[in-house]
Structure 1
């Protein structure tokens, strides 16, 4: 009976602050975990729905020769073109100050060397990061009356690229590459999922790119 008659002590200010802090931590964990799951989930897509254009996101190139990562993306785009997914392949990406080629030009060159007609390629050699490259692509695509795009990039990059493309007013779906250095080792996959989760959350909070920031932090 004594226990039943005990007076419940009201929560103190400190306990309320602890509850609020704990709740905020749970919200943040749910947001990060949910975003990471979507990055992983979209990475598994392979949407071959016909579109106006195929857009290949650029990666490193060496005096006109695409890196292994870039070559894997270009090969996937070539396969999509050969399957009739779109009649035009857009290559994206600018260049560093000392480079002789833009990523876009190197990509278009690779495609023509591997059977894609030059008339079916469009190189958009602007942008030093994903967002700026996609802005330049969207401008060129929309100027030609095109509205739908299939994005080709690495699996873990696909969700962020699709989100940015849709924010730029295009209908987009993804057909990421599932070959190349990025998908060969589980440790590399985990690192890129972490990178892309952080970069996407940064973009959604600031509407700014975070490629260079997360490349520096994660290597």
Structure 2
């Protein structure tokens, strides 16, 4: 077993299984993707840590616990069409591509889009991953509607565009921050509305553009 594969197994056994993620498909998908490929060289030593890995510009690679628990919450099917929002350097899209036949990866930072395309091209991914540069809040209606929308970062509330791009009964997974703390939430589309429920505690940096407007008292 290579050092990379050994590090992945240690991460899975020490950080993911211990947080009640037991879906073998998810564990196998995470084991198949070398996480260090998707982090900047200056922080490769953090690739398998239990914290978010900084990607620059306020963006992060999700910590293993939060990422795996969101994947399990999604209850993905092989035939699902997934919209992966804010994948950064492409790690989430790589893992989702091991689990589902088709992933549309929407990233608004042009440099990160290039990194994601390069990184995804360097490994074997079972499904098809399409990288698109677009505003996160806009999603990508051209390839929808989607079975699942997966969000890599915290938001304050889901944009209307995301709800419109989900199939009826489709699922949206995101961490929703309220002040300094957050909760992972599962939203399910019912008619034209999203019905959400809290799933577990999780706090991530807010994605750029999702900050609540400041209110001033007079």
- Normalised to the residue count of structure 2, the TM-score between the two structures is 0.40
Bigger Rg over Cα: 1
Q: Select the structure with the greater relative contact order (CA < 8 A; seq sep ≥ 6).
A: 1
Q: Which has the higher strand share?
A: 2
- Normalised to the residue count of structure 1, the TM-score between the two structures is 0.40
